[in-house]
């Protein structure tokens, strides 16, 4: 493994860490970067997942105050998202690599579309949350997240479905989870973000563990991605507010389109 490849993976992790803090979908940077460094797509997916898992856990920890009153929701939904993530990650490993190579450009384009649509999704989630709060009994006050029933069959099924996507590829998982929770389990927006981050972290962690035992992970590159992502996460927290959201999304949309094109040409 050359120092140049390690430096390239580290820079990709740095960019992904910053992007994950601001808008998410850092996999749109690390995955095509690893493919460009000569890593086969399935191995690049596994390496990217392992490299970025610590950043995902860190993002969940950042919402620990909001999570304090929502552990009942998290405990009920974690098994569903983990079952889905296990299925998705095992599907990547069990299926012929040509299948993943064929669908990954579509997954990249889908994740790019989710990223562009994220503000609209967030507005609709907020509108549903606001509408839900209006029907709560004003005499009793608004129901807190743990008082609602997160065991609804539709919510469990949708959470598991999001987990399958996260285990299989992962870019844009947070946006998918935001839409699922906002639609089927309304809560205040910060609470929804907290639960979304916790479930995404659980899915990413389980997928990373499965990939770790698959023999597909390029550990030196994964370490470089992880180190870069940790630094990028701190920089993103410091500088992210100074970058216009629309500009960053435009740049990421271009990156996603170029990534899909580069994978198609490989």
Residue 12 near residue 237 (C-beta atoms within 8 A): no
Q: Rounded CA gap, 39 and 167, in Å? A: 19
Which tokens go with 179? 């839409």
What's this model's pTM, rounded to 2 decimal places? 0.80
Q: What is the arithmetic mean of pLDDT over 116-140?
A: 67
Residue 68 has pLDDT above 90, yes or no: no
User: What is the total residue count of the chain?
Assistant: 266
pLDDT at 196: 86
Domain residue ranges of the chain, discontinuous segments joined by +: 3-265
> What is the token pair recorded at 36?
């460009």
Q: What is the pLDDT of residues 1-49, one digit of tens each?
A: 788 899 999 999 998 887 776 666 788 889 989 998 999 999 999 999 9
- Angle CA(31)–CA(33)–CA(34) in degrees, nearest 5? 70
| Region 146-170 average pLDDT | 82
| Residue where the block lists tokens 């959201």 | 245
The yes-or-no verdict on residue 138 having pLDDT over 60 is no
Sign of CA dihedral 85, 91, 94, 99: negative
Contact between residue 62 and residue 91 where contact means Cβ atoms under 8 Å apart:
no
């Amino acid at each position: 493994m050359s120092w140049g490849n390690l430096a390239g993976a580290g820079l990709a992790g740095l960019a992904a860490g910053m992007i994950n803090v601001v808008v998410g979908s850092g996999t749109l940077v690390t995955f095509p970067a690893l493919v460009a460094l000569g890593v086969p797509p399935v191995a690049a997916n596994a390496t990217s997942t392992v490299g970025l898992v610590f950043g995902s856990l860190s993002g969940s920890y950042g919402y620990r105050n909001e999570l304090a009153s929502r552990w009942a929701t998290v405990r009920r939904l974690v098994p569903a998202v983990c079952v889905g993530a296990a299925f998705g990650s095992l599907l990547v490993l069990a299926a012929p690599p040509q299948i993943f190579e064929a669908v990954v450009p579509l997954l990249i384009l889908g994740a790019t579309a989710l990223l562009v649509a994220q503000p609209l999704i967030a507005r609709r989630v907020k509108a549903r949350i606001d509408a839900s709060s209006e029907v709560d009994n004003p005499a009793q006050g608004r129901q807190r997240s743990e008082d609602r029933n997160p065991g609804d069959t539709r919510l469990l099924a949708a959470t598991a479905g999001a987990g399958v996507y996260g285990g299989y590829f992962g870019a844009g998982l947070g946006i998918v989870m935001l839409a699922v929770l906002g639609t089927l389990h309304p809560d205040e927006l910060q609470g929804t973000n907290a639960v979304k981050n916790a479930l995404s972290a659980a899915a990413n962690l389980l997928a990373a563990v499965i990939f770790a035992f698959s023999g597909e992970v390029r550990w030196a590159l994964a370490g470089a991605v992880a180190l870069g992502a940790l630094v990028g996460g701190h920089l993103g927290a410091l500088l992210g507010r100074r970058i216009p959201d629309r500009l960053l999304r435009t740049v990421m949309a271009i990156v996603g389109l170029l990534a899909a094109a580069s994978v198609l040409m490989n």
